[in-house]
Amino acid sequence: MLVQKNVPLQAFNTFHIVAKAQALACIRGESDVQDLLSDPNWSAAPKFVWGGGSNIVLTGDVKPLVLKVEIVGRRLVQETARAFIVEAGAGENWHDLVVWTLAQGYPGLENMALIPGTVGAAPVQNIGAYGVELQDRFESLDAIDLQTGQVFTLNAAQCAFGYRDSIFKHSSSANASEGQSPIGLKNRALILRVRLCLPKPWKPVLGYADLARKVLEHHCSQPLPQQIFDWVCEIRRAKLPDPAVIGNVGSFFKNPAVSPEQCADIIARDPKVVHYPLVDGSIKLAAGWLIDACGWRGKSIGLAGVYEKQALVLVNRGGSKHSDSATGGEVMTLAKAIQTSVYERFGILLETEPVVV
Ligand code: EPU
Atom of ligand 1 nearest to the CA of 311: 8
Cis peptide bond upstream of 64, omega within 30? no
CA of 286 to the centre of ligand 1 (A): 7
Long-range contacts, stretch 150-158, CB < 8 angstroms, 24+ apart: 151/30, 151/192, 152/189
Q: How do residues 305-339 score in pLDDT, each as one tens digit?
A: 999 999 999 999 997 666 689 999 999 999 999 99
Contact 114, 130 (CB under 8 A): no
Spatial distance between the Cα atoms of 39 and 32, rounded to a whole number of angstroms: 11
Catalytic residue, candidates 137, 164, 193, 195: 164
Minimal-distance CA residue to ligand 1 atom 27 = 129
Q: How do residues 102-131 score in pLDDT, each as one tens digit?
A: 999 999 999 999 999 999 999 999 999 999
**Cβ-based neighbour number of residue 350 at 10 Å:** 23
pLDDT 10s digit of each residue in the chain, 357 long? 689 999 999 999 999 999 999 999 999 999 999 999 999 999 999 999 999 999 999 999 999 999 999 999 999 999 999 999 999 999 999 999 999 999 999 999 999 999 999 999 999 999 999 999 999 999 999 999 999 999 999 999 999 999 999 999 998 875 555 555 567 999 899 999 999 999 999 999 999 999 999 999 999 989 999 999 999 999 999 999 999 999 999 999 999 999 999 999 999 999 999 999 999 999 999 999 999 999 999 999 999 999 999 999 999 999 766 668 999 999 999 999 999 999 999 999 999 999 999
Q: Where are the alpha helices (DSSP H) in the chain?
A: 30-37, 94-104, 121-124, 156-159, 209-217, 225-239, 260-269, 287-293, 328-346
C-alpha torsion angle, residues 103, 107, 112, 114 (rounded to 10)? 10
Spatial distance between the Cα atoms of 158 and 88, rounded to a whole number of angstroms: 19
Residue among 124, 133, 249, 251 whose CB has most ligand 1 atoms within 8 A, to mutate: 251
Q: Alpha carbon of 292 to those of 198, 225, 241, 295, 312: distances in Å?
A: 37, 33, 17, 5, 8
Contact 32, 339 (CB under 8 A): no
* Backbone torsions φ then ψ of 260, nearest 5 degrees: -55, -35
Residue among 289, 306, 352 whose CB has most ligand 1 atoms within 8 A, to mutate: 289
Spatial distance between the Cα atoms of 71 and 92, rounded to a whole number of angstroms: 7
CA of 248 to the centre of ligand 1 (A): 15
DSSP secondary structure string for all residues of 104-171: HT--S-GGGTT--SBTTHHHHTT-EETTEEGGGGEEEEEEEETTT--EEEEEHHHHT-BTTB-GGGS-
pTM: 0.95
**Domains of the chain from N-terminus onward:** 4-69 (3.30.43.10), 74-214 (3.30.465.10), 247-356 (3.90.78.10)
Catalytic annotation present for 251: yes
Contact 187, 146 (CB under 8 A): yes
Contact 53, 35 (CB under 8 A): no
Spatial distance between the Cα atoms of 87 and 196, rounded to a whole number of angstroms: 6
Spatial distance between the Cα atoms of 91 and 108, rounded to a whole number of angstroms: 21
